[in-house]
Amino acid sequence: MAFRTVQVEQALAHLRSADPVLEDVIDRVGPFTLRAKRDRFAMLVRSILSQQISTKAAESIRNRLLTRLKPEPLKPGSLANLTDEDLRAVGLSGQKVRYLRDLIDHVQSGQIELATIGRRDDTEIIAALTQVKGIGEWTAQMFLIFSLGRMDVLPHADLGIRTALKNLYALDDLPNRADAERLAMPWRPYATIASWYCWRSLELTSPADSTE
């Protein structure tokens, strides 16, 4: 499911009226441009590859993996055909190799049906995905946002979200889950849209910076 224009317009109207702080961020950032990614399996693989390394390093490993798979696409079957040595050769740690094997097993066995997973509610999807080794709540929430286009996801443990909340709401410390949920209460049922604007707010310069 993609983010539909009508839904986004409704979300922006709601967020503007519900939260003056976020209204200012929306004005400064501009239009909502996030588009959900269609390839659900590739999204989960990318999430595992990206754990605890830089974005640049993860992208390099991903590109080497795609090259190793050619001419096959990145699918459970083609990935399963690679040996552990193949996967280690493109830069994966032994732990991440085990994570990918577990993901493949869950998908190929039908324990996780990616083609139909979008029919389930958010809580059920998080419960299903976190059965896979190496996939925690944060990764499942990213899947809900970036693959399924769900409208009301608050990734409360995400460092970018916590940093944005601290900055925007002048908090003394990074918020815990309870604080994040409290601040996000006015955003419901459009926490995903608000979260995206929180991430984008980290790219903004302050009014004082822009006048220097």
Extents of the domains making up the chain: 5-35+153-207, 40-142
Alpha-carbon gap, residue 183 to 169, rounded angstroms? 9
In CATH terms, the superfamily for domain 40-142 is Hypothetical protein; domain 2 (1.10.340.30)
Fold equal for 5-35+153-207 and 40-142: no
Q: What is the DSSP letter of 118?
A: G
Each residue's pLDDT expressed in tens, for the chain with a length of 212 residues: 568 899 999 999 999 999 999 999 999 999 999 998 889 999 999 999 988 888 899 999 999 999 999 999 999 999 999 999 999 999 999 999 999 999 999 999 999 999 999 999 999 999 999 999 999 999 999 999 999 999 999 999 999 999 999 999 999 999 999 999 999 999 999 999 999 999 999 998 765 444 33
Q: What is the pLDDT of residue 208?
A: 45
- Name the residue among 187, 104, 196 with its Cα closest to residue 149: 196
Alpha-carbon gap, residue 122 to 129, rounded angstroms? 11
Alpha-carbon gap, residue 80 to 78, rounded angstroms? 5
Q: Tokens standing for 212?
A: 């220097």
Q: Which CATH class is domain 5-35+153-207?
A: mainly alpha
Q: Which residues are catalytic, by number?
A: 158
Q: What is the pLDDT of residue 211?
A: 37
Q: What is the pLDDT of residue 29?
A: 97
Q: What is the pLDDT of residue 1?
A: 56
Q: What is the pLDDT of residue 89?
A: 96
Q: At what angle do helices 137-146 and 40-49 cross, to 10 degrees?
A: 140
Alpha-carbon gap, residue 171 to 175, rounded angstroms? 8
